[in-house]
Amino acid sequence: MDRLKELSLLVQHGENVQAVSCAEKLLAQACPMEDIVKALSDGLEVLRNKCTIENFQLLDVLLATRAMVEVVDECLARKLQTEMDTMADSFERASGEAPTKAIVIGTIQGDIHDLGKHIVATLCRFKNMRVVNLGKDVSVDRFVDTAIAENAAFIGVSSLMTVCLSRINEIKDELARRGHDHILVVAGGGAAQQSSPDRLNVDFVAHDAFDGLDFFLNHILPGPS
């Protein structure tokens, strides 16, 4: 069977582990990301009739969606991040300038979505910031510990899941408790964008990657961190 067709069927059947493995093999064979995304979409398209009132099958839809999300996060996001890191590394070497400020970035504990913050991290690096990318499912203590150890000016925290927002509220309080409330906290991601800085107890809520970047650049002072 054609491997793209296999990926589509695996997503359709909610086989998340096998779908990730299949996508990894496709990427290893230099399959274009656009073709993989189309296969993922085709897998979900077949389930359209299970979303109707007459034939509603929520479990099938949820399992298929989980499979698609895991392929995006575990395979496509990782490949995209590698390519973006390579570009950023080349830019840093070409510029020959020392980074001006550090930012610690990650997805809050309980959330495994990873793609959006990769874009923010790369944009920051292109603007001569030092980025410490903690990945996904990051605890409050790890955010704070790393920011203090790295003498960071900012913490960038992302969440696409509303149930995880309460943990974001704890970051600034923990920074203050340790005497580092000068470190600014910026929240982003689909769930955070539905809230406000006051409710999340952060300094700023970014509505897209460039919105967050503008905030960082507007608060950078001359000189290294």
The domain made up of 97-218 is a member of CATH 3.40.50.280: yes
pLDDT (0 to 100) of residue 156:
96
Could you tell me the two tokens for 143?
Answer: 């955010």
pLDDT (0 to 100) of residue 88:
58
Could you tell me the two tokens for 66?
Answer: 């989980």
Residue span(s) of the chain under CATH 1.10.1240.10 come to 3-82
pTM of the model: 0.64
Is residue 7 within 8 Å of residue 44, measured between CB atoms?
A: no
**CA separation for the pair 50, 35 (Å, rounded):** 25
Q: pLDDT above 70 covers what percent of the chain?
A: 80
Q: How far is CA 189 from CA 59, 99, 141, in A?
A: 26, 25, 20
Architecture of domain 3-82: Orthogonal Bundle (1.10)
What number is the average pLDDT over the span 92-118?
A: 75
Residue span(s) of the chain under CATH 3.40.50.280 come to 97-218
Q: Is the pLDDT at 117 greater than 80, yes or no?
A: no
